[in-house]
Each structure stands twice: as C-alpha cells, then as structure tokens.
Amino acid sequence: MGKPNLLKTSPPFADRATQLSRHSTPYRDPLARIHWERLTEHAFWLPEQAVSLYGIEEYDNLPLDVRRRLSHYEFARFLSAGAWLESLFLQRLARAALKGPRATRIYHLHELREEAGHSLMFLEFFERTDLDTAVLDAPFDPWLTALGRRLPFHSTLFWSAILLGEEVPDRLNRYVRLHAQGVCPVAVELCALHSTDEARHIAYGREVLRHRLERAGGLTRVLLGRALDTLLHRFVMTFYYPPPSLYLHAGLPPGPWAARAAAHPARRDFVAHCLGPTLARLRGLGLTVSWP
Ligand SMILES: [Fe+2]
Ligand SMILES: [Fe+2]
C-alpha cells in the first residue's frame, strides 16, 4: 500500500484547519489596529532583560540613551528576521493554496493573509523609524533560506522547521507582552498582535507534526530530533543573537560585543527561559530537542 495522497484525500488535520480558519474570521488589519502615534524613541523597544548584553558589566555601565538605542536596533533586527522568514513561508503557502483539499487550502489562505499582515506591520514600523536599514537587512542564515525554499511542503522536516520558525520568535513576542512595563507601547502592541495570530499557526503546525509522527518509527524520531537540534540552534542565533555590525550601528564603542553575548551565561539562561515551553511541547510529541 502506498502513502496516502494528501493532495486528493482530506488529511486528519483538516477539521483542525477548518476550526482555525473560523477563528481567523473576521480578519482585522494589524496596520489599522496599532496606535502608531505612540511610537517613541524615549523608551526601550524590548524589556531590558531581553537585550542581548543585559547583565554584562560594561553594558550595564553604558549611558541610558545608548542602552535604549541598542534595544531599538535589536528589536528592529528581530522584526526584520521575522519579515525574512515570513517571505519564505508566504512563497510556499501561496503555492499550497492552489491545490489540495479545500479545508487546508482555505486555512493556508488565512495564514497567508495573516503573515502578509505581519510583514506589512514590520515594514510600516521601519518606515516610521530612522534606523540604518543596512544592518537590519544584513543577510540571514543561508542554510535556513535554502531549506525553506526546497524542502517538500508535505514533508515532516518542512513542518518541523515551520513549527520551530514560528515558536522561537514567538517566545520573545510573548516575553515582551508579559514584561511591557517601560517598553514602547507600539512595540508591545506589535508583539501582542503577532503572537495572537501565531498561536493559531503554531497550533496547526503542531497538529500536522503530531499526525506525521504518529506513523514515524523510533529511528525517524531520533534522526528528526537531531535535525531539530540544528534547526533550533540556527533559529535561536537568528532571532536572539544580533550580528556584530549591529552593536556598532547602535552606537556602542568598538568591541567583540556579539562574541560576548554568545558567551554570556545570562543570555543563555534567558534564551532557555523563553524556549522552555517549546522544548517541553516537542518532548510531548516524542522529540528530544535541547538548547545548551
Ligand atoms: Fe507572522
Ligand atoms: Fe505564523
């Protein structure tokens, strides 16, 4: 007996797709929902504990305006990475919306509309700031880009990558939402709107992956766990560890700031704290994934 053809038959997660599509209606344009007039440079754009150098003595001794400026660049780079990842996903979703069972096509169109809304929200944010775009658009992980373009849409690895690609940045969105005190209200609104939609996208990705793993043998799970370790590491580096040039653009004195962030235990602990629920859920699916 061959594999079921998901392009012709309804997959078991079609009901979930229909339910999530209902929750995506009515659609409300995030561009029109954000109170853009509240954008201010006189506030942090990330909770300070979420800044990559937080807890390093030389950073703590920097003037307030420099520390704020770094949070502006780190937040904007985080959004820029989101726009990069979403552009890859949008391309794949647009093709998937052309074929397959109606329930999943409809769901993919909802997701397409929501991801397009997020990217528009990020670009609008950049339009309203004076940050140097060269550092925000500096190239992202080419290995992830290639995988995002080439993995077969219905493969287990593709949906594993999608799930991690949504969960890893979403954990920071949630952190911002929960630690909003003193953070620019527009940054908080943006994270909150994003994570509300992502909750549905993550629920769907998890459902697809759960279904795929039900039929996977022990060896497949072990191999997939190893692949997920690599994916997790790359997504974390992309979303939680800014490139070296960003620190100079933000106005910090020259120094190996990126290397110091990478080596700093407080940053590792912060990332582990953010990712804890994600790793626990993956373990619940029978996948052992770890962050050092
Ligand atoms: Fe998104
Ligand atoms: Fe998403």
Domain, as residue range, for 115: 14-284
- C-alpha of residue 186 to centroid of ligand 1, in Å: 16
Residue 291 lies in a domain: no
- C-alpha of residue 217 to centroid of ligand 2, in Å: 28
Residue 9 lies in a domain: no
- C-alpha of residue 214 to centroid of ligand 1, in Å: 27
Share of the chain above pLDDT 90, in %: 84
- C-alpha of residue 176 to centroid of ligand 1, in Å: 15
pLDDT, the chain, mean? 94
Answer whether residue 208 shows pLDDT above 50: yes
- C-alpha of residue 51 to centroid of ligand 1, in Å: 21
pLDDT tens sequence across 276-288: 999 999 998 888 8
Answer whether residue 4 shows pLDDT above 60: no
- C-alpha of residue 106 to centroid of ligand 1, in Å: 17
Overall domain count for the chain? 1
Nearest listed ligand to the Cα of residue 200: 2
What's the pLDDT at 140? 97
Residue 6 lies in a domain: no
pLDDT tens sequence across 20-56: 999 999 999 999 999 999 999 999 999 999 999 999 9
- C-alpha of residue 257 to centroid of ligand 2, in Å: 31
Looking up residue 198, the CATH number of its domain turns out to be 1.10.620.20
Residue 245 lies in a domain: yes
pLDDT tens sequence across 81-100: 999 999 999 999 999 888 88
Nearest listed ligand to the Cα of residue 30: 1
- C-alpha of residue 5 to centroid of ligand 1, in Å: 29
Residue 4 lies in a domain: no
Share of the chain above pLDDT 70, in %: 97
Residue 7 lies in a domain: no
pLDDT tens sequence across 73-85: 999 999 999 999 9
- C-alpha of residue 212 to centroid of ligand 2, in Å: 20
Residue 208 lies in a domain: yes
Nearest listed ligand to the Cα of residue 86: 1
Answer whether residue 289 shows pLDDT above 90: no
- C-alpha of residue 170 to centroid of ligand 2, in Å: 9
Name the one residue in this structure whose structure tokens are 């797709």: 17
- C-alpha of residue 37 to centroid of ligand 2, in Å: 26
What's the pLDDT at 223? 92
Answer whether residue 1 shows pLDDT above 80: no
What's the pLDDT at 9? 58
- C-alpha of residue 89 to centroid of ligand 1, in Å: 9
Residue 278 lies in a domain: yes
Nearest listed ligand to the Cα of residue 116: 1
